[in-house]
Amino acid sequence: MMARHILLVLSNASDGRDEEFNDWYTNVHLTDVLKVDGFVAAQRFRLADAQLRPDQATPHRYLAVYEIEAEDVQQPLEALTSGVASGAIPLSETLERRSLATYLFTPVSGRLVALRTPQWRHRRSVTHPSPMVNGGRVPEAPPMRPRTQTPCTAAVRAPILGARLAGRHGSVEWAVTP
């Protein structure tokens, strides 16, 4: 498996040219960069109004995040640099070059994903051709269950253990999905 790296590019548009800059960067430059061997994904962001530390200086308004897959990360970086230098990857005059900043990062840990609270849902059943599947019934895409009903203790534990729990209360079938 190849190593995955992240290249962060912090940038600004030339004064008063944000619209042109964003059009060029999103519709031309990202595509040009993704043609370079090793660059596998890209996404752009703009600086949000809300900040964790509003007192901190924010010299850049835009961020591009590039994912690079390569055993030797220098090869894609050199190919990108030579493409820009030769004009094969043209830079727009709307890019403010003096404030441009780039940073390459290599992972130091695996990716973690947050665990979420299970969703309670109503479930209607339809007949399935095989009686081996849920007694001949397969659940349809259910709407959300109202939050006013309280789950039982077993229903809360089931997603934690990785199980799927389902049951019936009166005329309503329910299911907990992790």
For residues 177 and 117, what is the distance between their CA atoms, to the nearest angstrom? 9
Neighbours of 44 (CB within 10 A): 15
Report the percentage of the chain scoring pLDDT > 90.
Answer: 60
Q: Domain map of the chain by residue range? A: 4-105, 119-177
Q: What is the pLDDT of residues 20-40, one digit of tens each?
A: 999 999 999 999 999 999 999
Q: pTM of the prediction?
A: 0.65
Class of domain 4-105: alpha beta
Sequence-separated (6 or more) residues with CB below 8 Å from residue 23: none
Give the pLDDT of residue 158. 44
Which among 175, 91, 97 has a CA at the least distance from the CA of 137? 175
The answer on pLDDT for 146 being more than 90 is no
